[in-house]
Each structure stands twice: as C-alpha cells, then as structure tokens.
Structure 1
Amino acid sequence: MINENVSIALVHYPAMDREGKLIVTSFTTMDLHDIARPARAYDVRKFYIVQPIDAQRLVIKRQIDYWLSEEGRRSNPTRYEIVQLVSLKYTLDEVVEDVEREKGKRPIIVGTDARKYPNTVGYEELSREIARREREYLLVFGTGYGLPPDMMRTFDYILEPVYGAGDWNHLSVRNAVAIILDRLFSRNRC
C-alpha cells in the first residue's frame, strides 16, 4: 500500500447546520461508495465513518456487512474490495485511538474546510511531508456545513480550501475527498 501512513475520516458529528448550530448529519449511501472508491484509488490505509447515532450506524453496518459477505463479493467484487477499507466509529477520538493502536503513534490530524485558518497548509507541502513516511496522517472531512471552528482549531493542520476556477466552493464532501486525494497523491499532477 503506497499511502499506508494516511487514513481519512468522514465526521457526521459534530457538524454544523447553515446557522452554525451543532448537529448530527445523516449518513448517505453515496458517501460510503463514493469516498471508499478514491480512498482505494489513492491507496490510503483506511476510511473511517464517524456516526454516533445507533439507528444510522445500523444502516451503515448493514451495507458494510452485505458488501463484505460472499453474496456481495460475488455480486460486485470491486465494491467488496473498497468496502474492506471502511471502519465505523462513534467519535473522532475513537478514530485517533484506532490509528494509534494499529500504527503505534498518534496521527497528525489534518482538517479540511472551505475556510482558511491560521494553521493552513498547502497541498504541495503536505504531500511532501506525507511522502517522507515518517508520521501517520488522518485527513478529516466534515458533513453538513462543515466541522465547528472550535474543533478545527484543535487539529495539527488545516488543508487549504479546494479552490476552483471561480469563487464558488460549495462542493459535496464526496467531490472534495476525491479532489483532495488527487491533489495530494496523483501520479499525474501538473
């Protein structure tokens, strides 16, 4: 695995609504497949889904279990392969603990957001740092209207926003994950 020192996490809580209030966002089935695919394509170690609501977790677990079953594997072998990367956790703290337990050290936590923060890092700089393979990295993606600013300030780095050709930057998390992983790890970067 090329990027065995990188994991990604999709966080459903805490998230913000459009007024900035804390909420728990709902899981969408597209997120499972459309984030696991680029995670596999860019060869990251694991894709964590953070969801604290048991009813939502049941839906996620049923999907994971189906695609990891013999029937799911026969039905769609590539989906079986990508879903093997997925791990369901209650909290981001559990994710950090899991990485630390499996890799023997606490990961550098890199938040993603459409806003800039004082500890913002560029793609090229982060890509070079990851490529040295000296540390573990956890890229954290928010849902809804993003992760709360108080939480963002606790991260080691914040990756610079995804800027398109114009000033509009309201991408789905699925699009943002794919773009960010491509900017960090693509073999055909400009």
Structure 2
Amino acid sequence: MKTNIYKTYYFVSAIFGISVLLNFFDWQLRGYYTEKAIAWIWILFTLAFIIGFWKSRKIKIYFFLIVVLLILSLLPMLLPFYAMVFYLTDTEDYQQIKIDNQFRLETTRHHPMSKARVYIYENHFGLFEKNIARPDYQEIITQTLSTKNHPDLTPIQNVKIIAQNSDSIGLEYQINGHKKLIYHPIKNVNDGY
C-alpha cells in the first residue's frame, strides 16, 4: 500500500515536472487549463503525501525544503512568487480565443514584469501545443484601431487566419468593429519567455 502511494506521488510529480519543462521550451499540453490542473493536482497530492507520511524524517525535510523555497521566492521583489501565482491561476490572463482546431490565441502576461502579449499556440500531435508567436498586445490594438487613445485592455472580438507559411502567420483581428490584417513572424527560437 505504502509503495503504491509513493509510486503515485512520483508519477504525479513526474507529470508536473514534464509540464514545467515543456513550458520552458515553449511547448505545453493542449488546452488552457491543462497546466493549471496538473499543477493544482501536484499541490494537493503533495499536501496529502506530507500529511500522510509526516512521521518520516525524509518527509519533514521535504516539507521544510518546500517552505524554504517558497519563502526564498518572496525575497527578490516577489517576482518568482508572482510567477508561480500567474502559473497556477488565471491572474493576468485576459482572454482566450480558439481560432480553429489547429490554433488558439491567449492574451496574457506570463511573467510579473512583462507586458501583455498575444500568445499564438499551434496544435501538434493532438496532445501538445507550441507557442509560435507572441506579439505585443498594445501594438495589435494600436494597429487595428489606428489610434493610441484606447483603453488598456480592449478585448479582441474575433480572429481569423488569413495566411500561414514557414516564417509568418497572418491574422485578421476585429476589435471594436475595426478589422486589420497583421502578419506576425513565427518564432524559431525556444526561449521560454
């Protein structure tokens, strides 16, 4: 029984670790809530694991290591802590649009110090998504509305794929009734940002 619980926890931890590693290389499991669900499942399993095996010295060390890492994440201006909060919740996620079965768009800030961006994800193998472009959200709003005087988070009403090739993707944005075709270069570097 005890070994089954350990194996289950290691399996959940491995899935969580793979999810984080994929994210670092601009890949993720398909769907908006998939990563968040995996992270929360890992947190719940970790709490249950620690409570269930609290008498073990290794588990106490593991618990205090997690607490110390959480406290250390607060020291550098809370940036790592906020990055974890953004990863676990939909804080700073403004909009998700499914363009078609192959592409989806997400307007968000993935990092506490970054500006809002439009992340364009392409479906691969039915299970994974790759971030292929992340243009600046304000530039899209400014180009579409042809003015700099607009609310900060004007929602995108509709998006259509007009053209795609190996080095760019053309999207027609509709914002406040205005339409504009914008070509975005496709990233060929996995920078994890």
TM range (shorter): under 0.3
* Larger relative contact order, structure 1 or 2 (CA cutoff 8 Å, min sep 6): 1
**Highest CA radius of gyration, 1 or 2?**
2
**TM-score in terms of structure 2 length:** 0.28
**TM-score in terms of structure 1 length:** 0.28
